Amino acid sequence: MQQLRVLELVGTPAQMGAQHGQAYPELIRKFARDRLELAMENAWTGRKMSEREVLSLAEACLDAHHAYSPALTEELAEMAKATGIRPAEALITSGFTDFIDLVYNAASEPAQATLAVDDCTAFLIPHTRTKDGLSMFGQTWDMHETAEEHVVLMRGQPEGAPDFLAFTTVGCLGMIGMNSAGITVGINNLMASDGQVGVSWTHVVRKVLMQDNLQDALACITDTTLMGAHNYMLMDSHGAGYNVEAMSTEAQVTQLEHTPLIHTNHCLVDATISKQRTRPEASQRSSEHRLARGTDLLASDQLTPEDLMAVTADKDAICVSSKPPLHISTCGAAIMRPATGDFWAVWGKPTENRYQHFSVRA
């Protein structure tokens, strides 16, 4: 069984960033190099760019990140300093999938078709559909198979903000998480044609985890100039929730009601469909199949955390194994129950490893 690593971060943004970098310096440098090289390749971004051009584009986004959250930008910069990489490299590493959208749309000439960068399946479950009457969130995190070695669970105790748990990778501010106020956030990647200089998704996730109410958490997404496209799922300790298809220039919000909200990696609303770029055929089929399969598996009105874990381990569609040419694999998964602060996470495929239990409450 592969035990999930826990990264403890405490204190000011600068202190937390330094602790992050000092904990995994070599692994972060390796991950940063891998991500920088991928960002230079037309297979991923639709255009071939030099290292200097890629870093220049990332540097152009640093001011937007600082304006959005000086604290999180300082944390990222101190992590970069502790590992010996540039802030622009740290930005690419932490927000890679959004950065791909930016690079794709960075020049006036049409870009080539690109690879899909992940295949996550996420779901919000209302209290009316659970055995104990408490709402839940769950998702797989599917990415290129090389990302699995970088997975870590971050336990944060920031000054002046709620404590939090975040499923993430080394060098990344946070991807999926819940704070001590019960605010919960998860994601699916989307592929945008309207990428722009703006704020990347991991900054958004962490800023959501700095909030103590759902409306302020939602505003972290909808009131922001976004670099790229993600689907965000939000929930609070009372069981209220939202699904947000957020492209760079368009966001559509759906409120959680009495049936589960399930989302994969393609847009479902006309306004956002018009802003997405075409996914490779195999990836689109996977996204549609996972959406239908998740809908079937979550049809019960007596769902438990164990049921959600079983959904993430579904071999028919949802737990993804690496196959050429994309080599996308389920690198981990998380289940959260905001009302109780319970957080279950697994490193690697849920079919091969067991979930571990954590709590965001003292």
Of 53, 75, 104, at which residue does a domain stop? 104
Please report whether residue 128 resides in a domain: yes
Please report whether residue 117 resides in a domain: no
pLDDT classification of 91: cutoffs 50, 70, 90? very high
pLDDT classification of 360: cutoffs 50, 70, 90? very high
Could you give the CA distance from residue 100 to residue 251 in angstroms, rounded to a whole number? 19
CA distances from 171 to 81, 208, 226, 232, 308 (A): 12, 19, 20, 21, 28
Same structural domain, 311 and 275: yes
Same structural domain, 273 and 170: yes
Same structural domain, 192 and 308: yes
pLDDT classification of 287: cutoffs 50, 70, 90? very high
Same structural domain, 212 and 145: yes
Same structural domain, 255 and 349: yes
Q: What is the CATH number of the domain that holds 136?
A: 3.60.60.10
Same structural domain, 100 and 126: no
Q: What is the pTM of this model?
A: 0.96
Note the pLDDT of residue 109.
64
Note the pLDDT of residue 108.
61
Same structural domain, 150 and 65: no
Same structural domain, 166 and 64: no
- pLDDT per position as a tens digit, 243-279: 999 999 999 999 999 999 999 999 999 999 999 988 8
Say which range, 28-42, 52-66, 129-143, 224-238, has the weakest mean pLDDT.
28-42
Boundaries of domain holding 89: 6-104
Between 158 and 111, whose confidence is greater?
A: 158
Angle at the Cα of 141 (from 115 to 120), degrees rounded to 5?
55
Note the pLDDT of residue 48.
85
Residue 1 clears pLDDT 90, i.e. is over it: no
Mean pLDDT on 148-172: 97
Note the pLDDT of residue 110.
55
Same structural domain, 98 and 162: no
Please report whether residue 311 resides in a domain: yes
Same structural domain, 352 and 232: yes
Work out the mean pLDDT of the chain and round it to a whole number. Answer: 94
Please report whether residue 110 resides in a domain: no
Same structural domain, 312 and 275: yes
- Residue matched to tokens 């302020």: 216
Count: domains in the chain:
2
Please report whether residue 255 resides in a domain: yes
Same structural domain, 253 and 165: yes
